[in-house]
Structure 1
Amino acid sequence: MTSSTSSFAALWQLIRYARPYRARLIAASLCSVANKLFDVAPEILIGIAIDVVVRGQQSFVAGFGVTDPLDQVYLLGGLTLAIWIFESLFEFAYLVLWRNLAQDLQHELRTSAFAHVQNLDLAYFEDRSSGGLVSILNDDVNQLERFLNGGASDLIQVVVTVIACGAVFFAISPQIAVLAFTPIPVILWGAFFFQRKAGPRYDRVREKVAALSGRLANNLAGIATVRSFGAEQRELARLQTDSLAYVAANRHAIRLSSAFVPLIRMAILFGFLCTFVRGGQLVLEGHLQAGFYAVLVFLTQRLLWPLTRLAETVDLFERAMASTRRILGLLATPIHIADATTPEPAQPARGDIRLDQVHFAYANGNPVLHGVTLDITAGTTVALVGATGGGKSSLIKLLLRFYEPTQGQIFLDGRPLASYPLAWLRSQIGWVAQDVFLFEGSVRDNIAYGRPGASESEIVAAAMAAEAHEFITRLPQGYDTPVGERGIKLSGGQRQRLSIARALLKDPPILLLDEATSAVDNETEAAIQRSLARLAHQRTVIVIAHRLSTIVQADAVVVVEDGRIVEAGRHRELIGRAGSYAALWKVQTGAAAQMPEPA
């Protein structure tokens, strides 16, 4: 597919997407057409006025019954006033319509794309930077808005100018019309040649700005790590490389667009000289009235000079279509985690979970889970233990349907997990991740994130249950204290306790704890464990823990190694087996160090 075909295909897709705005699009286009028609009319009236002054009662206007030259001048003055008024009204109308349409459409595109991104499965984000997505949702949408603000109307008005002026030219003098219009094919050829060459260059520009946005977002998010390694100059050098790549891509496109304007100017000069010289000859030979000659000269200016902006308009169009392809491409990304169409259950989940021969591999194809079968009874606490990378966190993500099993099924209360609406399913699960994410806002906002309508007493109760209330009250503004971006103003342990409070306030029947106490001290860990023990009998709890001392009271301990369950049972039972769990326990409690050396 050529660039021009690709750009017009993107334009057609955009028009189809903007179908709900069709009436406003048509109204804006008609106002642009009307404005240009009234804009061209004064040049015609000037020529007619010259005809009145030169020919008097034999003028063109006299043919309409107004024979007195002074009355003809008054009539032309009144028409000029009316034309200027209507031109101004339609200019106001098309500016308001196009700009409001641009605002509404960019809002619709940005929110629709963001909503779509939120529904994409996590596998989509594995090989993509958040900065690149932000570039599409922000910069690309803004680029399209800039085109709709002015470029779309300019394209329409160029077409109207050519048609309107062409009609007048051929009505007055077909010979001069042919000469005046001779440059237009050259101009159009140049415009489409430029478009064909510029399209790939602007695609590269969009790619480079996405890479630059990704670099900026990544470095700002990791500013503490950058400083701790003294890598400021190294990261600055990387940013300079990406920035220079963006500049180079833009220069490559600018070089082409800059060459287009001189080509158009030379073509316009040829058309103007043809009208000026040949028209003058026809007047001197008596084959053309002076007033009509003036009309043709003025209209040549009106016809050809606006085409000097064609390069700028086409440039804006190509930039916008490059952005449109990226936006619509994002919207067309398929969602692999299909939402169920069945109605939500009337009652909360009981919490019975069954994994039946579950296999799973990430997008890179490396298998993570191999035929995992596990039954978890409602209201029990099950601990998943084992070495890092064994597949424990992957099991948690499958329960949340962030991913789908490659083989096998997961059941909740006897029904396949995929048969539940996603929103309902996730409302039944409270998740405390190992990598805690807090949103920019207050402590209160973050605790109440899962229940925005929670009362103050409920928020405080959740904080107390997570052993967070005491440190919150010591903060400068208490529960109203801003946590900063990603919770940067709080310690790791404080962030984790807020995350636990957030999950507890949600009060779900199923609670997933992925190393929930990994970032707290021993005293706080003990307090959180007491809180979780009080709450465990009310819900199904699945705990991933590396500190085995925190899960000795679990109803069942499941040892996961290399994506397989190798042991399962209660703590004392597994210790007695002297298997993998017992070995882990000995290492963590120091028993292994006390064993006698082999003979």
Structure 2
Amino acid sequence: MPTSASQATGSFAALGRLLRYARGYRRQIIAATACSIINKLFDIAPEILIGIAIDVVVNQEESFVASLGFDSAQEQILILGGLTFFIWAGESIFEYLFQILWRNLAQRLQADLRQDAYEHVQRLDMAFFESRSSGQLVATMNDDINQLERFLDGGANAMIQVAVSVVAVGAVFFVLSPLIAVLAFTPIPLIIWGAFYFQKKAGPLYADVREKVGDLSSRLANNLGGIATIKSFTAENREAERLRVSSEAYVTANRRAIRVSSAFIPIIRMAILAGFLATFTIGGLQAIQGDLNVGAYGVLVFLTQRLLWPLTGMAEVIDLFERAMASTRRILDLLAVPIRVRDEATTALPEPVKGAVAFDNVAFHYASSGDGVDGVSLSVPAGNTLALVGATGSGKSTLVKLLLRFYDPEQGEIRIDGHPIQSVTLRSLRQAIGLVSQDVYLFEGSIRENIAYGRPDASDAAIEQAARTAEAWDFISALPDGLDTAVGERGVRLSGGQRQRLSLARALLKDPPILVLDEATSAVDNETEAAIQRSLEHIGHERTVIMIAHRLSTIVNADDIVVVEKGRITERGRHQDLIRQDGAYAAQWRVQTGDDL
């Protein structure tokens, strides 16, 4: 847990990082700041005019205004009235301007931050997503950025105007009465010290609040995503209680932060009272004795509140500032996560892509578990079908992830048509590969939109052809809305087999030279499996197919079958060859077909 001092330093460091990020908005920031400063100067001016008006009423031809060449009291009052009109109009105009500028800046900056964060996250390798909660990421890109927006909407202007009040009012005080200025300013060091003290106390508390928000978002996202499992295990009460615990943790974290920030105003009010009493009593005595102009005394009394009272708002400003800086750290830390799989190539994979794939002494291990692959070498001629089999965790899916460059190998090289995949652009590499995985992900929208995900401009005829090839058209055409049928979030309105066929149709419409089936038939019924098998017979002759399968019946016709155990290739050959070898593949075949019983 960071110390209060380091947290305070961290808040201002986060502000510096934010300003560096926002350097492209420099003109807007300067313009908004200038409008805030001018507005505050206009806001202070009426109190000065009141004092000058009192001076005119009391001293008339001997007033300060008279010394400027306006002899009669009536003329002086009219001049002050005109000045008051222009000052109030100027204050209103610049208040409108700073509100427009700050709010537009807040909207633009939060939109760009969210977009930059999302685009950065999209470029991160899969290891990042395997170690982070999606709820935490959503909280950072949504709630944290909204927190920063709230600060820019009002807090930034408030901080600037408090500083302007101190400087401008202080200057007037020292011109009119240095003694009263010193007395009135005496509480300010205490107020500033109190502000920083509470800022240091509140900083770690608000950092904890932001963490609790992320935990709560993660809990909600997980529970809503797993609602069918919760219902099937009648775990509604248990999950409701777990959510209540997360929610109460958030409430408790907020309560601790609020307790500290709420103590600020009562303490500061007493400091303000001391400054006001000094001006009120000592200034009054000086005016009675004739040592201080009555108008100047009025200015000082009015400006004392204008000087000190806004400082009570520092509690709310600091509250906004701490929340915003805690959020800013999380946002900018996310943007600072290094991109390990870099798209630095400038050359696309040469067309036409034939689809020959080669792994040359490839090794990779996951940091969390140490599992992976060791020294794998294999090649797949263009147009051939390669099947990868083996126990769960043996490294089959790892080879596919390396081929797609979800990760980069620690050693060795992967080539497509003889070109190392790290020497070509990620876009051209992944456009050449169609992936159909066991865990089908459909986006909320229509069947048409999901099939055309890889080719948004595809015609209905092309979409229908892909659906027919994937043997999905029969059930699509039977639906009342056909291709316009909404699939629901993650495709919940469709059966598992229907989702799998749509996933295959989506890959086929992309028309990739390399098709990867990662256990695509392991969770479907026999009818869907047979349909996918028939589809493969049509499409497998013209493209390279890499299949990962537990059901060996789906790969008996593969050109090459590779058995992977503990990250290494232990057997390789066609189906009949492997049966004759009587190794691990043959043993698994007997188990699945019942020949060993």
The verdict on a shared fold, with TM-score over 0.5 as the criterion, is: yes
Pick from 341, 350, 353 the counterpart of residue 349 of structure 1.
353
Pick from 496, 499, 502 the counterpart of residue 503 of structure 2.
499
Residues 38-85 of structure 1: per-residue CA shift (max 9 Å, x gap): 000000000100100000100000011001100000000000000000
1:393 shift after superposition: 1.1
Q: Distance in 1 between matches of 2:503 and 2:259?
A: 53
- Is the Cα–Cα contact under 8 Å of residues 349 and 429 in structure 2 kept in the other structure? no
Aligned to 2:259: 255
Aligned to 2:582: 578
Aligned to 2:137: 133
Aligned to 1:35: 39
| Greater Cα shift, 336-345 or 17-26 | 336-345
Q: Distance in 1 between matches of 2:419 and 2:550?
A: 31
1:197 shift after superposition: 1.1
Structure 1 segment 227-238 matched on structure 2, within 5 A = 227-238=231-242
Aligned to 1:82: 86
Residues 472-531 of structure 1: per-residue CA shift (max 9 Å, x gap): 112231111110101011111010000000000000000000112223332332222122
| Greater Cα shift, 354-363 or 99-108 | 354-363
Pick from 430, 433, 445 the counterpart of residue 429 of structure 1.
433
1:579 shift after superposition: 1.8
* Pairing 1:396–2:436 present: no
Aligned to 2:99: 95
Q: Distance in 1 between matches of 2:410 and 2:546?
A: 22
Secondary structure at 2:508's aligned position in 1? helix
Q: Distance in 2 between matches of 1:57 and 1:156?
A: 39
Residues 372-409 of structure 1: per-residue CA shift (max 9 Å, x gap): 11111111011111222211111111111111222222
- Is the Cα–Cα contact under 8 Å of residues 371 and 393 in structure 2 kept in the other structure? no
Structure 1 segment 16-415 matched on structure 2, within 5 A = 16-415=20-419
Cα-Cα RMSD: 1.0
Change (3 A) 1:345 1:410: closer
1:349 shift after superposition: 2.1
| Greater Cα shift, 500-509 or 412-421 | 412-421
Secondary structure at 1:560's aligned position in 2? strand
1:365 shift after superposition: 4.2
Residues 182-216 of structure 1: per-residue CA shift (max 9 Å, x gap): 10000000000111111111111111110111000
Q: Distance in 2 between matches of 1:546 and 1:317?
A: 55
Q: Distance in 2 between matches of 1:334 and 1:83?
A: 52
- Is the Cα–Cα contact under 8 Å of residues 473 and 479 in structure 1 kept in the other structure? yes
- Is the Cα–Cα contact under 8 Å of residues 388 and 546 in structure 2 kept in the other structure? yes
Aligned to 2:517: 513
- Is the Cα–Cα contact under 8 Å of residues 348 and 428 in structure 1 kept in the other structure? no
- Is the Cα–Cα contact under 8 Å of residues 376 and 569 in structure 2 kept in the other structure? yes
* Partner AA of 1:491 in structure 2: S
Runs of 5+ consecutive residues of structure 1 not aligned to the other structure: 594-599
Instruction: Output the TM-score relative to the length of structure 2.
Output: 0.98
Aligned to 1:588: 592
Aligned to 1:527: 531
- Is the Cα–Cα contact under 8 Å of residues 172 and 292 in structure 1 kept in the other structure? yes
Q: Distance in 1 between matches of 2:285 and 2:431?
A: 85
* Partner AA of 2:376 in structure 1: V
| Greater Cα shift, 352-361 or 110-119 | 352-361
- Is the Cα–Cα contact under 8 Å of residues 347 and 423 in structure 2 kept in the other structure? no
Q: Distance in 2 between matches of 1:375 and 1:279?
A: 93
- Is the Cα–Cα contact under 8 Å of residues 162 and 303 in structure 1 kept in the other structure? yes
* Partner AA of 1:295 in structure 2: V
Residues 71-123 of structure 1: per-residue CA shift (max 9 Å, x gap): 00000000000000000000000000000000000000000000001111010
Q: Distance in 2 between matches of 1:80 and 1:354?
A: 82
* Partner AA of 2:119 in structure 1: A
Aligned to 1:597: none
| Greater Cα shift, 553-562 or 427-436 | 553-562
Q: Distance in 1 between matches of 2:187 and 2:392?
A: 72
Name the count of aligned residue pairs.
Answer: 593
Q: Distance in 1 between matches of 2:9 and 2:409?
A: 40
1:341 shift after superposition: 2.5
1:330 shift after superposition: 0.2
* Partner AA of 2:192 in structure 1: L
- Is the Cα–Cα contact under 8 Å of residues 56 and 65 in structure 2 kept in the other structure? yes
* Partner AA of 1:544 in structure 2: I
Aligned to 2:424: 420
Secondary structure at 1:97's aligned position in 2? helix
Aligned to 1:479: 483
- Is the Cα–Cα contact under 8 Å of residues 223 and 239 in structure 2 kept in the other structure? yes
* Pairing 1:560–2:539 present: no
Pick from 440, 445, 466 the counterpart of residue 470 of structure 2.
466
Q: Distance in 2 between matches of 1:240 and 1:502?
A: 41
- Is the Cα–Cα contact under 8 Å of residues 465 and 528 in structure 1 kept in the other structure? no
Q: Distance in 1 between matches of 2:345 and 2:84?
A: 64
Residues 423-460 of structure 1: per-residue CA shift (max 9 Å, x gap): 11101100001110100000111000011110000000
1:346 shift after superposition: 4.2
Q: Distance in 1 between matches of 2:49 and 2:446?
A: 67
Q: Distance in 1 between matches of 2:352 and 2:406?
A: 21
* Pairing 1:5–2:5 present: no
Q: Distance in 2 between matches of 1:345 and 1:502?
A: 22
1:129 shift after superposition: 0.6
1:126 shift after superposition: 1.6
* Partner AA of 1:470 in structure 2: D
Q: Distance in 2 between matches of 1:388 and 1:553?
A: 22
Q: Distance in 2 between matches of 1:259 and 1:340?
A: 54
Residues 339-396 of structure 1: per-residue CA shift (max 9 Å, x gap): 1322213413221111112222112141321211111111101111122221111111
Q: Distance in 2 between matches of 1:347 and 1:307?
A: 68
Aligned to 2:445: 441
Q: Percent sequence identity over matched residues?
A: 64
Secondary structure at 1:450's aligned position in 2? coil
| Greater Cα shift, 53-62 or 554-563 | 554-563
Q: Distance in 1 between matches of 2:373 and 2:296?
A: 85
- Is the Cα–Cα contact under 8 Å of residues 463 and 501 in structure 1 kept in the other structure? yes
1:532 shift after superposition: 1.1
Q: Distance in 2 between matches of 1:70 and 1:168?
A: 26
Pick from 545, 548, 562 the counterpart of residue 544 of structure 1.
548
* Partner AA of 1:70 in structure 2: Q
* Partner AA of 2:557 in structure 1: Q
Secondary structure at 1:567's aligned position in 2? strand
Secondary structure at 2:453's aligned position in 1? helix
- Is the Cα–Cα contact under 8 Å of residues 496 and 519 in structure 1 kept in the other structure? no
Aligned to 1:596: none
Q: Distance in 1 between matches of 2:297 and 2:52?
A: 10
- Is the Cα–Cα contact under 8 Å of residues 444 and 479 in structure 1 kept in the other structure? yes
Residues 106-158 of structure 1: per-residue CA shift (max 9 Å, x gap): 00000000000111101011221100000000000000000000000000000
Q: Distance in 2 between matches of 1:388 and 1:122?
A: 19
Runs of 5+ consecutive residues of structure 2 not aligned to the other structure: none
